[in-house]
Amino acid sequence: MNALIKSATVVDSKSDFHNETVDILIEKGRIAKISKRISNPNNYREIKLDNLHVSQGWFDSSVSFGEPGFEERETIDNGLKTASKSGFTAVALNANSFPVIDSYADISFVKSKASNHATQLLPIGALTKESKGIDLAELYDMSNAGAVAFYDYQKPISNPNLAKIAMQYAGNFNGLICSFPQENKITGTGVVNEHVNSTKLGLKGNPNLAEDLQVARDLFLLEYTEGKLHIPTISTAKSVDLIRQAKAKKLDVSCSVAIHNLIYTDDVLSDFDTNFKVLPPLRTKNDCNALIEGLKDGTIDMVTADHNPIDIEDKKVEFDYAKYGTIGLESSFGALQTIFTTKKAIGLLTQGKSRFGVDENTINVGNDAELTLFNPDVNYQFSVSNILSKSKNSAFIGQDLKGMAYGIVANKKIVLL
Protein backbone atom coordinates (compact mmCIF):
# COMPACT_ATOMS: atom_id res chain seq x y z
CA MET A 1 0.00 0.00 0.00
CA ASN A 2 1.41 3.37 -1.09
CA ALA A 3 -0.08 6.77 -0.27
CA LEU A 4 0.78 10.42 0.28
CA ILE A 5 -0.97 12.25 3.12
CA LYS A 6 -0.98 15.99 2.43
CA SER A 7 -0.89 18.85 4.95
CA ALA A 8 -1.58 16.89 8.11
CA THR A 9 -0.96 18.25 11.60
CA VAL A 10 0.77 15.61 13.71
CA VAL A 11 -0.59 14.98 17.21
CA ASP A 12 1.92 12.55 18.71
CA SER A 13 4.11 13.64 21.63
CA LYS A 14 6.56 10.81 20.83
CA SER A 15 7.03 11.94 17.23
CA ASP A 16 9.83 14.20 15.99
CA PHE A 17 7.11 16.12 14.14
CA HIS A 18 4.64 16.71 16.98
CA ASN A 19 2.44 19.79 16.34
CA GLU A 20 3.94 20.27 12.86
CA THR A 21 1.90 20.34 9.65
CA VAL A 22 3.61 18.03 7.18
CA ASP A 23 3.21 15.64 4.26
CA ILE A 24 3.63 11.93 5.07
CA LEU A 25 4.79 9.50 2.38
CA ILE A 26 3.82 5.86 2.91
CA GLU A 27 5.42 3.11 0.85
CA LYS A 28 4.61 -0.58 1.26
CA GLY A 29 2.77 0.20 4.48
CA ARG A 30 5.67 2.01 6.17
CA ILE A 31 6.39 5.69 6.69
CA ALA A 32 9.06 6.48 4.10
CA LYS A 33 9.32 10.24 4.45
CA ILE A 34 7.92 13.14 6.48
CA SER A 35 8.51 16.67 5.26
CA LYS A 36 6.87 20.07 4.83
CA ARG A 37 6.22 19.32 1.18
CA ILE A 38 6.59 16.03 -0.68
CA SER A 39 6.06 15.66 -4.44
CA ASN A 40 4.19 12.69 -5.90
CA PRO A 41 6.09 11.53 -9.04
CA ASN A 42 4.84 7.94 -8.69
CA ASN A 43 1.20 9.04 -8.68
CA TYR A 44 0.43 7.47 -5.30
CA ARG A 45 -3.04 7.92 -3.83
CA GLU A 46 -3.18 11.35 -2.20
CA ILE A 47 -5.17 11.95 0.95
CA LYS A 48 -6.30 15.57 1.27
CA LEU A 49 -8.93 16.35 3.89
CA ASP A 50 -10.23 19.48 5.59
CA ASN A 51 -8.30 20.46 8.73
CA LEU A 52 -6.55 17.09 8.63
CA HIS A 53 -4.84 15.91 11.80
CA VAL A 54 -3.07 12.60 12.28
CA SER A 55 -2.12 10.62 15.38
CA GLN A 56 -1.00 7.15 16.35
CA GLY A 57 -3.83 4.68 15.83
CA TRP A 58 -6.49 4.66 18.53
CA PHE A 59 -7.19 1.60 20.68
CA ASP A 60 -10.25 0.44 22.61
CA SER A 61 -9.90 -2.21 25.33
CA SER A 62 -13.58 -3.25 25.59
CA VAL A 63 -15.59 -3.87 22.43
CA SER A 64 -18.42 -6.34 21.81
CA PHE A 65 -19.71 -7.39 18.40
CA GLY A 66 -21.99 -10.39 19.03
CA GLU A 67 -20.59 -12.85 16.51
CA PRO A 68 -20.65 -15.80 16.93
CA GLY A 69 -24.26 -16.30 17.96
CA PHE A 70 -25.65 -12.77 18.11
CA GLU A 71 -25.06 -11.62 14.54
CA GLU A 72 -28.34 -9.67 14.63
CA ARG A 73 -26.58 -7.30 17.04
CA GLU A 74 -23.33 -6.99 15.09
CA THR A 75 -20.93 -9.04 12.97
CA ILE A 76 -17.16 -9.05 13.24
CA ASP A 77 -16.93 -7.79 9.65
CA ASN A 78 -19.18 -4.75 10.09
CA GLY A 79 -17.91 -4.16 13.62
CA LEU A 80 -14.34 -3.83 12.40
CA LYS A 81 -15.43 -1.57 9.53
CA THR A 82 -17.19 0.60 12.09
CA ALA A 83 -14.06 0.68 14.25
CA SER A 84 -11.90 1.65 11.25
CA LYS A 85 -14.15 4.52 10.18
CA SER A 86 -14.36 5.64 13.82
CA GLY A 87 -10.56 5.96 14.00
CA PHE A 88 -9.57 2.75 15.80
CA THR A 89 -6.64 0.72 14.48
CA ALA A 90 -6.99 -1.94 17.21
CA VAL A 91 -9.84 -3.16 19.42
CA ALA A 92 -9.98 -5.83 22.12
CA LEU A 93 -13.00 -8.07 21.60
CA ASN A 94 -14.98 -9.27 24.61
CA ALA A 95 -16.06 -12.89 24.92
CA ASN A 96 -19.79 -12.22 25.35
CA SER A 97 -20.93 -14.27 22.37
CA PHE A 98 -22.76 -17.56 22.00
CA PRO A 99 -20.93 -19.81 22.33
CA VAL A 100 -18.68 -17.91 24.69
CA ILE A 101 -15.09 -17.52 23.46
CA ASP A 102 -13.38 -19.84 25.94
CA SER A 103 -11.06 -22.15 23.98
CA TYR A 104 -8.11 -22.21 21.56
CA ALA A 105 -10.50 -22.92 18.68
CA ASP A 106 -12.76 -19.99 19.57
CA ILE A 107 -9.85 -17.56 19.68
CA SER A 108 -8.60 -18.87 16.34
CA PHE A 109 -12.09 -18.47 14.84
CA VAL A 110 -12.52 -14.78 15.68
CA LYS A 111 -8.96 -14.01 14.60
CA SER A 112 -9.57 -15.68 11.24
CA LYS A 113 -12.76 -13.64 10.76
CA ALA A 114 -10.73 -10.45 11.28
CA SER A 115 -7.67 -11.35 9.23
CA ASN A 116 -8.25 -9.08 6.21
CA HIS A 117 -9.30 -5.91 8.02
CA ALA A 118 -7.41 -2.68 8.58
CA THR A 119 -8.35 -2.68 12.27
CA GLN A 120 -6.54 -5.30 14.34
CA LEU A 121 -8.81 -7.51 16.46
CA LEU A 122 -7.38 -8.62 19.80
CA PRO A 123 -9.50 -11.38 21.33
CA ILE A 124 -10.20 -11.48 25.05
CA GLY A 125 -10.86 -15.03 26.19
CA ALA A 126 -13.45 -15.88 28.83
CA LEU A 127 -11.96 -16.27 32.30
CA THR A 128 -14.21 -19.19 33.20
CA LYS A 129 -15.82 -21.92 31.12
CA GLU A 130 -18.88 -20.51 29.36
CA SER A 131 -18.42 -17.44 31.60
CA LYS A 132 -20.37 -19.26 34.31
CA GLY A 133 -17.89 -18.38 37.07
CA ILE A 134 -17.33 -21.97 38.21
CA ASP A 135 -14.23 -23.43 36.54
CA LEU A 136 -11.31 -21.63 34.91
CA ALA A 137 -11.31 -21.73 31.12
CA GLU A 138 -8.31 -22.86 29.05
CA LEU A 139 -6.30 -19.73 29.80
CA TYR A 140 -2.88 -20.93 28.68
CA ASP A 141 -4.20 -22.48 25.47
CA MET A 142 -6.10 -19.31 24.63
CA SER A 143 -2.99 -17.26 25.32
CA ASN A 144 -1.07 -19.40 22.83
CA ALA A 145 -3.86 -18.81 20.29
CA GLY A 146 -3.56 -15.03 20.70
CA ALA A 147 -5.83 -14.03 23.59
CA VAL A 148 -4.59 -10.77 25.14
CA ALA A 149 -6.56 -11.00 28.42
CA PHE A 150 -9.20 -13.05 30.23
CA TYR A 151 -12.57 -11.63 31.23
CA ASP A 152 -16.13 -12.80 31.83
CA TYR A 153 -17.70 -9.69 30.32
CA GLN A 154 -19.73 -7.76 32.92
CA LYS A 155 -19.93 -10.86 35.13
CA PRO A 156 -18.21 -10.52 38.52
CA ILE A 157 -16.00 -13.29 39.86
CA SER A 158 -18.13 -14.13 42.89
CA ASN A 159 -15.73 -16.75 44.28
CA PRO A 160 -12.65 -14.97 45.68
CA ASN A 161 -10.64 -18.21 45.69
CA LEU A 162 -11.26 -18.59 41.95
CA ALA A 163 -10.03 -15.04 41.39
CA LYS A 164 -6.94 -15.80 43.50
CA ILE A 165 -6.15 -18.97 41.57
CA ALA A 166 -6.67 -17.19 38.24
CA MET A 167 -4.14 -14.49 39.14
CA GLN A 168 -1.63 -17.06 40.38
CA TYR A 169 -2.00 -19.33 37.35
CA ALA A 170 -1.91 -16.54 34.75
CA GLY A 171 1.25 -15.19 36.38
CA ASN A 172 3.12 -18.18 34.92
CA PHE A 173 2.69 -16.78 31.39
CA ASN A 174 2.20 -13.06 32.12
CA GLY A 175 -1.54 -13.31 31.54
CA LEU A 176 -3.80 -10.35 32.25
CA ILE A 177 -6.83 -11.11 34.44
CA CYS A 178 -9.83 -8.77 34.21
CA SER A 179 -12.36 -8.60 37.02
CA PHE A 180 -15.69 -6.78 36.66
CA PRO A 181 -16.12 -4.44 39.66
CA GLN A 182 -19.45 -5.47 41.12
CA GLU A 183 -20.55 -7.48 44.16
CA ASN A 184 -23.81 -9.06 43.02
CA LYS A 185 -25.07 -9.78 46.51
CA ILE A 186 -25.05 -6.03 47.19
CA THR A 187 -26.39 -5.09 43.75
CA GLY A 188 -29.31 -7.48 43.97
CA THR A 189 -31.87 -6.54 41.31
CA GLY A 190 -30.75 -2.91 41.09
CA VAL A 191 -30.75 -1.43 37.58
CA VAL A 192 -29.69 2.21 38.15
CA ASN A 193 -27.50 4.09 40.59
CA GLU A 194 -28.87 3.97 44.14
CA HIS A 195 -29.43 7.62 44.92
CA VAL A 196 -32.12 10.29 44.88
CA ASN A 197 -33.07 9.63 41.26
CA SER A 198 -33.63 5.90 41.74
CA THR A 199 -36.16 6.75 44.46
CA LYS A 200 -37.87 9.41 42.34
CA LEU A 201 -38.14 7.07 39.36
CA GLY A 202 -39.20 4.02 41.34
CA LEU A 203 -36.29 1.96 39.99
CA LYS A 204 -34.24 -0.40 42.14
CA GLY A 205 -30.79 0.89 42.99
CA ASN A 206 -27.28 -0.44 42.46
CA PRO A 207 -25.17 1.32 45.12
CA ASN A 208 -21.58 2.50 44.86
CA LEU A 209 -20.83 0.07 47.68
CA ALA A 210 -21.33 -2.89 45.33
CA GLU A 211 -18.42 -1.67 43.20
CA ASP A 212 -16.23 -0.43 46.01
CA LEU A 213 -16.34 -3.75 47.89
CA GLN A 214 -15.39 -5.76 44.82
CA VAL A 215 -12.52 -3.44 43.90
CA ALA A 216 -11.17 -3.58 47.47
CA ARG A 217 -11.42 -7.38 47.48
CA ASP A 218 -9.65 -7.74 44.14
CA LEU A 219 -6.86 -5.41 45.17
CA PHE A 220 -6.27 -7.45 48.34
CA LEU A 221 -6.11 -10.60 46.19
CA LEU A 222 -3.73 -8.90 43.78
CA GLU A 223 -1.40 -7.91 46.60
CA TYR A 224 -1.45 -11.47 47.94
CA THR A 225 -0.84 -13.18 44.58
CA GLU A 226 1.54 -10.57 43.10
CA GLY A 227 -0.43 -11.05 39.90
CA LYS A 228 -1.50 -8.82 37.03
CA LEU A 229 -4.99 -7.29 37.15
CA HIS A 230 -7.13 -5.03 34.97
CA ILE A 231 -10.35 -3.60 36.40
CA PRO A 232 -12.62 -2.58 33.51
CA THR A 233 -15.11 0.30 33.57
CA ILE A 234 -14.95 1.64 37.09
CA SER A 235 -17.61 4.20 37.96
CA THR A 236 -17.24 5.44 41.56
CA ALA A 237 -15.10 8.00 43.35
CA LYS A 238 -14.10 5.41 45.96
CA SER A 239 -12.84 3.03 43.24
CA VAL A 240 -10.52 5.76 42.00
CA ASP A 241 -9.16 6.28 45.53
CA LEU A 242 -8.64 2.54 46.10
CA ILE A 243 -6.78 2.08 42.82
CA ARG A 244 -4.70 5.18 43.45
CA GLN A 245 -3.59 3.67 46.78
CA ALA A 246 -2.84 0.33 45.13
CA LYS A 247 -0.65 1.99 42.52
CA ALA A 248 1.22 3.80 45.29
CA LYS A 249 2.03 0.31 46.62
CA LYS A 250 3.39 -0.60 43.15
CA LEU A 251 0.75 -3.27 42.56
CA ASP A 252 0.43 -4.39 38.93
CA VAL A 253 -3.06 -3.00 38.37
CA SER A 254 -4.65 -1.03 35.57
CA CYS A 255 -8.20 0.17 35.04
CA SER A 256 -10.48 1.80 32.51
CA VAL A 257 -13.56 3.99 32.53
CA ALA A 258 -16.40 3.99 30.00
CA ILE A 259 -16.75 7.32 28.21
CA HIS A 260 -20.49 7.52 28.92
CA ASN A 261 -19.73 7.33 32.66
CA LEU A 262 -17.67 10.52 32.23
CA ILE A 263 -20.31 12.42 30.26
CA TYR A 264 -23.63 11.51 31.84
CA THR A 265 -25.05 11.32 35.36
CA ASP A 266 -28.19 9.51 36.49
CA ASP A 267 -30.09 12.79 35.97
CA VAL A 268 -30.60 11.76 32.32
CA LEU A 269 -32.80 8.82 33.34
CA SER A 270 -35.94 10.89 33.85
CA ASP A 271 -37.39 9.83 30.47
CA PHE A 272 -36.61 6.13 31.07
CA ASP A 273 -34.53 6.03 27.86
CA THR A 274 -33.09 2.50 27.83
CA ASN A 275 -30.07 3.66 25.82
CA PHE A 276 -28.89 5.01 29.18
CA LYS A 277 -29.26 1.62 30.84
CA VAL A 278 -25.61 0.65 31.14
CA LEU A 279 -23.47 -1.39 33.50
CA PRO A 280 -21.98 -0.09 35.71
CA PRO A 281 -24.82 2.43 35.94
CA LEU A 282 -24.55 6.16 35.40
CA ARG A 283 -23.78 7.70 38.76
CA THR A 284 -23.52 11.21 40.27
CA LYS A 285 -21.65 14.37 39.33
CA ASN A 286 -19.26 13.73 42.22
CA ASP A 287 -18.36 10.36 40.71
CA CYS A 288 -17.92 11.88 37.23
CA ASN A 289 -15.58 14.52 38.61
CA ALA A 290 -13.53 11.91 40.47
CA LEU A 291 -13.23 9.78 37.31
CA ILE A 292 -12.09 12.77 35.27
CA GLU A 293 -9.53 13.66 37.94
CA GLY A 294 -8.37 10.03 37.92
CA LEU A 295 -7.72 10.28 34.19
CA LYS A 296 -5.84 13.54 34.62
CA ASP A 297 -3.49 12.22 37.31
CA GLY A 298 -2.94 8.83 35.68
CA THR A 299 -4.80 6.70 38.22
CA ILE A 300 -7.15 5.55 35.45
CA ASP A 301 -5.09 4.14 32.60
CA MET A 302 -7.45 4.31 29.65
CA VAL A 303 -10.92 5.11 28.40
CA THR A 304 -13.21 2.76 26.52
CA ALA A 305 -16.43 3.11 24.56
CA ASP A 306 -17.48 -0.19 26.16
CA HIS A 307 -19.16 -0.63 22.77
CA ASN A 308 -22.00 -3.11 23.21
CA PRO A 309 -24.53 -3.40 20.35
CA ILE A 310 -28.00 -4.51 21.48
CA ASP A 311 -30.80 -5.14 18.99
CA ILE A 312 -33.98 -3.09 19.15
CA GLU A 313 -36.10 -5.94 20.56
CA ASP A 314 -34.01 -5.90 23.73
CA LYS A 315 -34.03 -2.11 24.12
CA LYS A 316 -37.58 -1.10 23.20
CA VAL A 317 -39.02 -2.61 26.36
CA GLU A 318 -39.68 -1.48 29.93
CA PHE A 319 -36.55 -0.13 31.62
CA ASP A 320 -36.37 -2.99 34.12
CA TYR A 321 -36.33 -5.58 31.33
CA ALA A 322 -34.04 -3.87 28.81
CA LYS A 323 -30.54 -5.26 28.33
CA TYR A 324 -27.57 -3.22 29.51
CA GLY A 325 -25.34 -1.54 26.96
CA THR A 326 -24.67 1.31 24.56
CA ILE A 327 -22.61 1.53 21.41
CA GLY A 328 -19.87 4.14 21.43
CA LEU A 329 -17.08 3.68 18.89
CA GLU A 330 -18.52 6.30 16.54
CA SER A 331 -18.90 8.92 19.28
CA SER A 332 -15.78 8.28 21.38
CA PHE A 333 -13.53 11.05 20.09
CA GLY A 334 -16.24 13.68 19.81
CA ALA A 335 -17.46 12.96 23.34
CA LEU A 336 -14.00 13.05 24.89
CA GLN A 337 -13.32 16.46 23.34
CA THR A 338 -16.28 17.91 25.20
CA ILE A 339 -14.22 17.35 28.37
CA PHE A 340 -10.54 17.31 27.38
CA THR A 341 -8.16 19.06 25.01
CA THR A 342 -7.33 17.39 21.70
CA LYS A 343 -3.90 16.35 22.96
CA LYS A 344 -5.35 14.78 26.12
CA ALA A 345 -8.17 13.06 24.23
CA ILE A 346 -5.70 11.50 21.79
CA GLY A 347 -3.51 10.41 24.69
CA LEU A 348 -6.45 8.68 26.35
CA LEU A 349 -7.33 6.88 23.11
CA THR A 350 -3.80 5.54 22.63
CA GLN A 351 -2.21 4.99 26.03
CA GLY A 352 -3.86 1.66 26.85
CA LYS A 353 -2.06 -0.18 24.06
CA SER A 354 0.93 -1.56 25.93
CA ARG A 355 -1.24 -3.11 28.67
CA PHE A 356 -2.92 -5.28 26.04
CA GLY A 357 0.24 -6.04 24.04
CA VAL A 358 -0.38 -3.64 21.17
CA ASP A 359 2.67 -2.11 19.46
CA GLU A 360 3.02 1.65 19.65
CA ASN A 361 4.00 2.87 16.20
CA THR A 362 4.98 6.50 16.59
CA ILE A 363 4.77 8.84 13.63
CA ASN A 364 8.41 8.65 12.62
CA VAL A 365 10.21 7.56 9.46
CA GLY A 366 10.74 3.81 9.23
CA ASN A 367 7.80 2.80 11.41
CA ASP A 368 4.72 0.96 10.22
CA ALA A 369 1.98 3.35 9.15
CA GLU A 370 -0.62 2.92 11.87
CA LEU A 371 -2.43 6.22 11.76
CA THR A 372 -5.74 7.76 12.70
CA LEU A 373 -6.95 10.67 10.55
CA PHE A 374 -9.34 13.17 12.12
CA ASN A 375 -10.68 16.71 12.28
CA PRO A 376 -10.63 17.94 15.91
CA ASP A 377 -12.60 21.15 15.35
CA VAL A 378 -15.89 20.14 13.71
CA ASN A 379 -18.93 20.67 15.95
CA TYR A 380 -22.08 18.65 15.36
CA GLN A 381 -25.01 16.96 17.03
CA PHE A 382 -24.64 13.18 17.03
CA SER A 383 -27.57 11.47 15.31
CA VAL A 384 -28.62 8.07 14.00
CA SER A 385 -27.07 9.04 10.65
CA ASN A 386 -23.65 9.02 12.34
CA ILE A 387 -24.10 5.41 13.49
CA LEU A 388 -22.29 2.78 11.45
CA SER A 389 -23.12 -0.19 13.69
CA LYS A 390 -25.95 -2.61 12.89
CA SER A 391 -27.54 -1.84 16.26
CA LYS A 392 -28.47 1.79 16.98
CA ASN A 393 -28.52 1.77 20.80
CA SER A 394 -26.40 4.86 21.36
CA ALA A 395 -26.58 6.95 24.53
CA PHE A 396 -25.07 9.84 22.55
CA ILE A 397 -27.96 10.44 20.12
CA GLY A 398 -28.80 14.16 20.38
CA GLN A 399 -25.53 15.00 22.20
CA ASP A 400 -23.41 17.93 20.97
CA LEU A 401 -19.94 16.59 20.13
CA LYS A 402 -16.68 18.13 18.96
CA GLY A 403 -14.32 16.34 16.59
CA MET A 404 -14.76 13.49 14.14
CA ALA A 405 -12.56 10.73 12.75
CA TYR A 406 -12.00 10.48 9.01
CA GLY A 407 -10.69 6.92 9.22
CA ILE A 408 -7.39 5.08 9.45
CA VAL A 409 -4.29 3.99 7.60
CA ALA A 410 -3.21 0.65 9.08
CA ASN A 411 -2.30 -2.92 8.20
CA LYS A 412 -1.35 -1.74 4.69
CA LYS A 413 -4.91 -0.55 4.12
CA ILE A 414 -6.72 2.78 3.92
CA VAL A 415 -10.28 3.07 5.29
CA LEU A 416 -12.02 6.45 5.17
CA LEU A 417 -15.60 7.60 5.81
Counting Cα atoms < 13 Å in the Cβ hemisphere of 197 gives 18
271 tagged catalytic? no
Give the model's pLDDT for residue 273.
98
Contact 340, 294 (CB under 8 A): no
Q: What is each CA distance from 269 to 208, 358, 395, in whole angstroms?
A: 17, 37, 11
Pick the catalytic residue from 23, 218, 306, 314: 306
Pairing of strands 229-231, 177-178: parallel
pLDDT, residue 416, reads 97
**Amino acid 27: pLDDT:** 97
The fold adopted by the segment(s) 57-356 is: TIM Barrel (3.20.20)
Exposed e or buried b per residue across 240-273, where buried means at least 16 C-beta atoms within 10 angstroms of its C-beta: bebbeebbeeebbbbbbbbbbbbbbbbeebeeee
- At 372 the pLDDT is 98
Contacts of 380 (CB under 8 A, 6+ apart): 334, 386, 400, 401, 404
- Tens of each residue's pLDDT in the chain, 417 residues: 999 999 999 999 999 999 999 999 999 999 999 999 999 989 999 999 999 999 999 999 999 999 999 999 999 999 999 999 999 999 999 999 999 999 999 999 999 999 999 999 999 999 999 999 999 999 999 999 999 999 999 999 999 999 999 999 999 999 999 999 999 999 999 999 999 999 999 999 999 999 999 999 999 999 999 999 999 999 999 999 999 999 999 999 999 999 999 999 999 999 999 999 999 999 999 999 999 999 999 999 999 999 999 999 999 999 999 999 999 999 999 999 999 999 999 999 999 999 999 999 999 999 999 999 999 999 999 999 999 999 999 999 999 999 999 999 999 999 999
Query: Where in the chain do CATH 3.20.20.140 domains reside?
Result: 57-356
CATH 2.30.40.10 fits 3-53+364-383+400-416, yes or no: yes
